[in-house]
């Protein structure tokens, strides 16, 4: 039996601008995504077997532990790619909020692919890993690569940007999750679609080592904001906060110790930008 522990960081969207709708139903985007030091952890065990078994467990009651979980799909696709059968046990130690716009599911799936590649003695190169990630979702490639990333197409095409640093505070309504499908559909139904080109402006600011705060922007916040009092309350309390991804998490680029919101909101303090993606440690062979 082989075991490995995988560290899977969350991301926030510093910008998220929608370019257009694609023929396949997805949207082309321009987004600057930033990894932060909020992590899920995967404990992956690999056992020899003549048939494929993928067994998921974990500490969260908010996610499924069956074939519908992106981690399960990632493990299955990896085994198919390398043409192997095995028993794989994965324990998901969840700390990233669910349905929050923080890529919790995507980073766990990317971590599964990376971790299994280590356990099987790296049969796939980085390009192969990114190819599997792109098949599974829009944010996996960003999570695999890490740091500060420009993501285009539907999010799977990535370009590394110079590393930047900042404190971060997250604010999430505890009882509100917004699916990507809902957010993108509501954006598509908007008659007016602003074009502020904040992504290009932020890239210029990053390249010239200037403050990025004035360029924070999210088209999906514009799409869903008027439908949820919980989001409006965050914005009223913290006017410079911005929604991440499809929500419902907001963030502010400072370490805010005191936020006058009630217990219906989860506040995560003391976070920072990080310049890495998925990492592995504690490789054990028995």
What DSSP letter does each residue of 83-110 carry, written as one string?
T--EEEEEEEE--SPSSSSS-HHHHHHH
Q: How many CB atoms neighbour CB 60 within 10 A?
A: 16
Catalytic residue among 40, 108, 139, 219: 139
Q: Is 84 labeled as catalytic in the residue annotation?
A: no
Tokens at 224, concatenated = 């869903």
What DSSP letter does each residue of 231-283 carry, written as one string?
HHHHHHHSTT-EE-TTSS-EEESS--S-----TTEEEEEEEEB-S---EEEEE
> Kind of pairing, strands 242-243 and 250-252?
antiparallel
Are residue 8 and residue 140 in the same domain, yes or no? yes
Are residue 268 and residue 281 in the same domain, yes or no? no
Are residue 155 and residue 186 in the same domain, yes or no? no
The 10s digit of each residue's pLDDT in 61-106 is 999 999 999 999 999 999 999 999 999 999 999 999 999 999 999 9
Q: Is 227 labeled as catalytic in the residue annotation?
A: no
pLDDT at 22: 85
Are residue 21 and residue 129 in the same domain, yes or no? yes
pLDDT at 24: 83
Q: How far apart are CA 167 and CA 270, in angstroms?
A: 7
The 10s digit of each residue's pLDDT in 273-286 is 999 999 997 666 66
Q: 144: domain range?
A: 2-162+274-285
Percent of the chain past pLDDT 70, that is, above it, reads 98
Are residue 86 and residue 101 in the same domain, yes or no? yes
User: Taking a C-beta distance cutoff of 8 angstroms, is the pair 86, 79 a contact?
Assistant: yes
Are residue 157 and residue 174 in the same domain, yes or no? no
Are residue 16 and residue 145 in the same domain, yes or no? yes
Give me the count of residues in the chain.
Answer: 286
Per the confidence metrics, is the pTM higher than 0.75?
Answer: yes
Q: How many CB atoms neighbour CB 127 within 10 A?
A: 7
CATH of the domain at 66: 3.30.230.10
CATH of the domain at 233: 3.30.70.890
Q: How many domains does the chain have?
A: 2
Tokens at 167, concatenated = 């404190």
The 10s digit of each residue's pLDDT in 244-264 is 999 999 999 999 988 999 999
Q: Which residue ranges in the chain fall short of pLDDT 70?
A: 282-286
Are residue 107 and residue 28 in the same domain, yes or no? yes
pLDDT at 284: 63
pLDDT at 257: 85
- For residue 209, what is the DSSP state? T
3-state secondary structure of 70: helix
Are residue 152 and residue 280 in the same domain, yes or no? yes
Q: How far apart are CA 20 and CA 182, in angstroms?
A: 16
Q: How far apart are CA 179 and CA 177, in angstroms?
A: 7
Are residue 135 and residue 208 in the same domain, yes or no? no
CA atoms within 13 A on the CB side of 59: 10
Q: How far apart are CA 253 and CA 4, in angstroms?
A: 33
Are residue 250 and residue 130 in the same domain, yes or no? no
Rounded to the nearest integer, the mean pLDDT of the chain is 95
Are residue 153 and residue 171 in the same domain, yes or no? no
pLDDT at 25: 77
Backbone angles phi, psi at 90, to 5 degrees: -130, 120
Spell out the residues 6+ positions from residue 272 whose beta carbon is closer than 8 angstroms to its own: 36, 37, 165, 166, 167, 168
Catalytic residue among 11, 30, 94, 172: 11
User: Taking a C-beta distance cutoff of 8 angstroms, is the pair 177, 198 a contact?
Assistant: no
């Amino acid at each position: 039996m082989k075991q490995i522990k995988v560290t899977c960081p969350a991301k926030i969207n510093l910008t998220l601008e929608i370019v257009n709708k694609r023929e396949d139903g997805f949207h082309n985007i321009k987004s600057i995504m930033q990894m932060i030091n909020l992590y899920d952890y995967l404990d992956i065990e690999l056992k020899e077997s003549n048939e494929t078994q993928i067994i998921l467990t974990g500490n969260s009651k908010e996610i499924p532990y069956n074939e519908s979980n992106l981690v399960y799909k990632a493990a299955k696709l990896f085994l198919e790619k390398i043409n192997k059968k095995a028993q794989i046990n994965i324990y998901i130690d969840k700390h990233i909020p669910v349905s929050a716009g923080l890529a919790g599911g995507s980073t766990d799936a990317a971590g599964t692919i990376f971790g299994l590649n280590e356990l099987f003695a790296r049969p796939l190169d980085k390009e192969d890993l990114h190819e599997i990630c792109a098949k599974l979702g829009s944010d996996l490639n960003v999570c695999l690569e890490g740091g500060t990333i420009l993501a285009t197409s539907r999010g799977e095409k990535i370009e590394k940007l110079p590393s930047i640093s900042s404190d971060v505070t997250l604010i999430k309504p505890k009882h509100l999750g917004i699916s990507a499908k809902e957010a993108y559909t509501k954006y598509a139904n908007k008659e007016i679609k602003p074009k502020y080109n904040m992504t290009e402006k932020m890239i210029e600011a990053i390249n010239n080592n200037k403050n990025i705060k004035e360029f924070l922007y999210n088209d999906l916040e514009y799409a869903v904001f008027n439908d949820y009092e919980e989001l409006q309350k965050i914005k009223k309390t913290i006017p410079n906060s911005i929604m991440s991804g499809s929500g419902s998490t907001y963030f502010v680029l400072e370490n805010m110790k005191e936020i006058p919101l009630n217990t219906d909101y989860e506040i995560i303090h003391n976070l920072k930008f990080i310049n890495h993606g998925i990492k592995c440690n504690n490789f054990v062979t028995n």
